[in-house]
Amino acid sequence: MNIGGVDRSNVVQAIRTDTSMAVARGDSGGPVVTSADGTYGNDMQARGLISGSWGSTVTCPAGSVANSATTCYEGVAFIGMSAMVNKMGFNLNT
């Protein structure tokens, strides 16, 4: 995947299957998190760092931070935690 003119081989791409928003313009650099039990706010786990968007544009949700001046997308491109940890030479203690 090409991000900002740089080819990246360690990018994960995920897309919403219900055509709702996965990411909005300006989200780059933010965290990608999931919940092991499927409930938002409980047991959240870091999965990566948002590096871009892809796929079709979708309607930004009403009442969200994303407003009419922002473009929302159904797909998100991110660098996974293991790729970041390995590249930066970090150790994760759990």
* Mean pLDDT for the chain overall: 82
pLDDT at residue 46 greater than cutoff 90 = no
Query: How many structural domains does the chain have?
Result: 1
Calpha distance 54→73 (Å, rounded): 7
Q: What is the pLDDT of residue 3?
A: 60
pLDDT at residue 5 greater than cutoff 80 = no
Q: What is the pLDDT of residue 68?
A: 64
pTM: 0.76
In a domain, 76, yes or no: yes
Find all residues with CB under 8 Å of 18, minimum gap 6, and list them: none
Q: What is the pLDDT of residue 50?
A: 94
In a domain, 93, yes or no: no
Q: What is the pLDDT of residue 54?
A: 87
In a domain, 51, yes or no: yes
